[in-house]
Amino acid sequence: MTFLTESEPARGIALDVLPGIRRVVARNPSVMTYFGTNTYLISGDDGLTVIDPGPDDDQHVQDVLKAAAAEPVARLVLTHTHSDHLGATAKLQAATGARVYGYRHSAKAEFEPDVKLDDGDIVAGFTAVHTPGHAADHLSFAYDVAGIGAILFSGDHVMSWSSSIVSPPDGDMVAYYKSLELLLARHEAIYLSGHGPLLRQPRDLVRQLLSHRQRREATILAALQAGQSSVAELAEHLYHKTDYRLKIAAQRNVLAHLLKLAHEGRVVQLEPDDDVSAEPVINEDLPPEDAKSTKPAIVAMFLHDGARRFAVAA
């Protein structure tokens, strides 16, 4: 696949992207977030629309407020409720009084948007496009830019720098395929994603992402036929990742593929091995700081899901 790179963006300032659109890149770089989450500031008749407030980081909140300057923040808009996009929402709302817009069915039990959006809803010129797959509550937003034409704020569904993780149960590979196919039928010429630089001719990458997933699916079926059965075994065979975060991401993607194949009746889940422990043991690969902050229930889910076994349907 053809992904884009960029030099590390300047921190603490708003960077021009397109006419009337700027981004503040959060200070949360990682193997999962590239140089950080993009928080977009779009100027409108009634003030700024902020798309994706970003992570819960006081410095990032101050960076966004500084970038807004005297221009009032009219609304906070979420592409989805993963923490690197949702985290700063409460503090920005407290500072600005702006209402929060998001998908009508929040994937976070502890969060509800002030204004619940559905597919096709229009807010201040932004048209919500429900694009689940990476997240169940994922929205992209179509928008017309003067002198440019139609663009799409694509969140983490399609990113210029990397493919997206699809991590069940919030992530769903069946939905991800359908959302990619949906974008292929649309006409936006530029995508602005949740991480990474501006993407031109985005449908070329969307086609590549869909083809990549289809090839990965075929490889998983071949590996099952060769005798490998557990999610962890398949991920190790297919991805060869060394960073523990990427190992987890690989396992989540493999599980999402297997669940899609099971949904289609092409594979079946086997009974678990008797020696698989369900105890919430912290993975020894986790760095100490992450081992302390990772919820045991989440670790237990990863361990349990890594041991799940599948076979090609008869």
Percentage of the chain beyond pLDDT 70 is 92
What's the rounded Cα separation, in Å, for the pair 66 and 115?
Answer: 25
Residue with the larger pLDDT of the pair 70 and 218: 218
What pLDDT, on a 0 to 100 scale, did the predictor assign at position 206? 98
Cite the beta strand spans of the chain per DSSP E.
15-18, 21-25, 38-44, 47-51, 73-77, 99-103, 115-117, 122-123, 126-130, 139-145, 149-155, 190-193, 199-200, 267-269, 310-312
- Other C-beta atoms within 10 Å of 241: how many? 16
Please give the pLDDT value at position 43. Answer: 97
Which pLDDT score, from 0 to 100, does residue 300 have?
A: 80
pLDDT at 245: 82
At 6-65, the pLDDT tens digits run 999 999 999 999 999 999 999 999 999 999 999 999 999 999 999 999 999 999 999 999
Q: Reduce the DSSP state of residue 302 to 3 states and report it.
A: helix
Q: Which residues pair with 44 in a beta bridge?
A: 47
CB 67 within 8 A of CB 95: no
Q: In which band, very low, low, confident or very high, does the pLDDT at 294 lie, cut at 50, 70 and 90?
A: low
Number of C-beta neighbours around residue 238 at 10 A: 17
Contacts of 90 (CB under 8 A, 6+ apart): none
Least confident of 113-117, 136-140, 210-214, 281-285: 281-285
Q: Check whether 275 has a pLDDT greater than 90.
A: no
Q: What type of residue sits at position 4? A: L
CA 225 to chain CA mean position, Å: 31
Output the CA angle 91-97-100, nearest 5 degrees: 75
Is pLDDT at 279 greater than 50 in this prediction?
no
pLDDT of 66-77, one tens digit each?
999 989 999 999
Please give the pLDDT value at position 244.
79
For a pLDDT cut of 90, what percent of the chain falls above it? Answer: 83
pLDDT at 295: 65
Count other C-beta atoms under 10 Å from residue 122's C-beta.
Answer: 11
- How many Å apart are CA 83 and CA 60, to the nearest integer? 14
Domain ranges in the chain? 15-211, 227-312
Model-level pTM? 0.92
CATH class given for the domain over 15-211: alpha beta
Q: Do 280 and 299 meet the contact criterion of CB atoms below 8 Å apart?
A: yes
